[in-house]
Amino acid sequence: MRLGFIGLGTMGRPMAMNLLRAGFPLTVYNRTASKAQPLLEMGAAWAPSPADLAEASEVVLTMLSDTPDVEAVLFGPGGVWEGIRPGSIVIEMSTIAPEAAAAFARRLAERGCEMLDAPVSGGERGAIEGTLAIMVGGREDTFQRCLPILRALGKTIIYTGPSGNGQKTKLVNQLICALTIIAVIEGVHLAESLGLNLETTFRVVSGGAAASWMLSTLAPKIIQNDFAPGFKIALQQKDLRLVREAIQQISGRALENEPELFPGAALAFRLFHEAVAEGLGEQGTQGLIALYRRRARL
């Protein structure tokens, strides 16, 4: 199967590399062309636009930032829509609004094309190691056809139901992630406020009931003063915005006005919103510690 990959950022670049390593013929496109260089050196072909990429590919994978970015790349000028052939498949792997994913799938169906929403979890490390969790919405027969591709990217690959269900599942994942990030950051902040040695504290805590992926990934980065993303605070805030919108759709009520509906989501939305407002958006999520440190100094 000839594949095309659009969006060679933190996640997309290592994912595209894994597709090449698995032996798929691959065409790539990225808005900032220079980021494609390592892929071209590994044997990928370059397409000058998403439309050209779609014309050259039977399956188009996208890994972009937010809902409007996916819409622009699929349906904007020079977008996938202008080049895609009937029978082709789009595997949309960014984290975007579930109802938008379902609407994009319906639009592509008008052209005789299928779309899977297939967001991922597992971070940059999971993308590099090909161990992502992939939650897939869309037609089950299309999911089965795409499994060999998804197996090059992830280890836990689960069909979740019709279009949009992959993204709904991802919202659950992101709410749990955000609250776990807050738990880890607040634990680090308490440890440093108590004058504890962070390295010994988190070596022992990681061996007990508080162990988690988030703890073992973020605490060492804070200890090493490494605030590079991983997963940007701005993207986590975007995901919490999607969670907030979903809660509003379910309940008909605004989370800000009635935080008791989902108190954890309300807290997480507020903290990540403040972190972005304080200029921390481009840092990895471990950068949330700066919010606590600044307040402690006030």
Ligand X SMILES: NC(=O)c1ccc[n+]([C@@H]2O[C@H](COP(=O)([O-])OP(=O)(O)OC[C@H]3O[C@@H](n4cnc5c(N)ncnc54)[C@H](OP(=O)(O)O)[C@@H]3O)[C@@H](O)[C@H]2O)c1
Among 3, 4, 7, 20, binds ligand X (CB under 6 A): 7
Look-up: residue for tokens 């308490």? 190
196 to 235, contacts with ligand X by CB under 6 A?
230-231, 235
Among 2, 45, 46, 72, binds ligand X (CB under 6 A): 72
**Which segments of the chain does DSSP mark as H helices, in order?**
12-21, 37-41, 50-56, 67-75, 98-109, 123-129, 140-150, 165-193, 198-205, 213-223, 233-251, 263-277, 289-297
CB of 47 to ligand X, least distance (A): 13
Find the part of the chain contacting ligand X (CB under 6 A) among 28-36, 41-49, 98-106, 178-186: 28-36
Among 4, 5, 12, 98, binds ligand X (CB under 6 A): 12
Active site residues: 170
Assess 248 for contact with ligand X (CB under 6 A): no
Assess 91 for contact with ligand X (CB under 6 A): no
Find the part of the chain contacting ligand X (CB under 6 A) among 63-71, 140-148, 185-193, 274-282: 63-71
CB of 128 to ligand X, least distance (A): 11
**For ligand X, the closer CB: 10 or 27:** 10
Assess 121 for contact with ligand X (CB under 6 A): yes
- Opening angle at CA 183, ends 182 and 186, nearest 5: 80
- Tokens read off for 95: 């984290």
CB of 165 to ligand X, least distance (A): 17
Strand pairing class (45-46; 59-62): unpaired
Residue 192, judged by CB atoms within 10 A of its CB (0-12, 13-18, 19+), counts as: middle
Among 44, 63, 89, 280, binds ligand X (CB under 6 A): 63
Assess 94 for contact with ligand X (CB under 6 A): yes
Q: Are 272 and 178 in contact (CB under 8 A)?
A: yes
What's the half-sphere exposure (Cβ side, CA atoms, 13 Å) at 3? 25
Amino acid residing at 203: R
| Burial state string for 152-188 with b = 16 or more CB within 10 A and e = fewer than 16 | bbbeebebbeebbbbbbbbbebbbebbebbbebbebb
Q: Please give the size of the binding site for ligand X, defined by CB under 6 A.
A: 26
Assess 241 for contact with ligand X (CB under 6 A): no
Among 73, 150, 181, 240, binds ligand X (CB under 6 A): 73
Among 9, 83, 98, 166, binds ligand X (CB under 6 A): 9
Say whether 28 sits in a helix, a strand or coil.
Answer: strand
Give the binding site for ligand X (CB under 6 A).
7-12, 30-32, 35, 63-65, 69, 72-73, 94-95, 120-121, 123-124, 230-231, 235, 239
